[in-house]
Structure 1
Amino acid sequence: MALNLNYAANTYLAVTIPASSQYYMQSPAALAELHPAAAYVGQVGELSDVQLVSIPKAQWESLETEIVAAFENVGKVDVQTPKQRVKRGGDEL
């Protein structure tokens, strides 16, 4: 299932949950409880230990350090950036 992500409105964090964190491995949606601005989005592909959460852009811009710290207490945090498509020039076709 492909996730419908809106990078214009949200910042997305991929949280890698260590195997030792059984609570979040069994209930990944509970990650949204780590910060009031967070919303659980879902699992990243087939990686059961990597979960995606979203943060509204306005809150991310003012609370980035606080939000990252809250999720780093659980596991590794990677801020996701949208993939940019490269426009081909006429001579490359």
Structure 2
Amino acid sequence: MRAIDLSAVSWRKSSYSNTSGGDCLEVSDDLLRAADWHRSSYSNSDGGNCVEVAPGLPLVPVRDSKDPARGALLFAGPAWVAFLDGVRREAAGRAA
């Protein structure tokens, strides 16, 4: 897993933190903005079928590149690998 630059991420104190400095937890609502997004090689140049993925994180975020503000779906690494393996098997079966 690679490290990501979190310097541009905004953090806020959780509502579960107390005022005496104990039990403090910070959360980020924009963590995925710091991710290194890659557009699928299956995306076309006219804006259709565009999927982006940000590999190398504990969870694999996937989003629509035409509407990144809409958010991302998060997949556990093993589930993402299983999905990709299934897509590859299906593509190989169609090519045969």
- TM above 0.5: no
Output the TM-score relative to the length of structure 2: 0.26
**Whose Rg is larger?**
2
- Select the structure that is richer in strand: 1
Q: TM-score of the superposition, structure 1-length normalised? A: 0.27
Greater helix proportion: 1
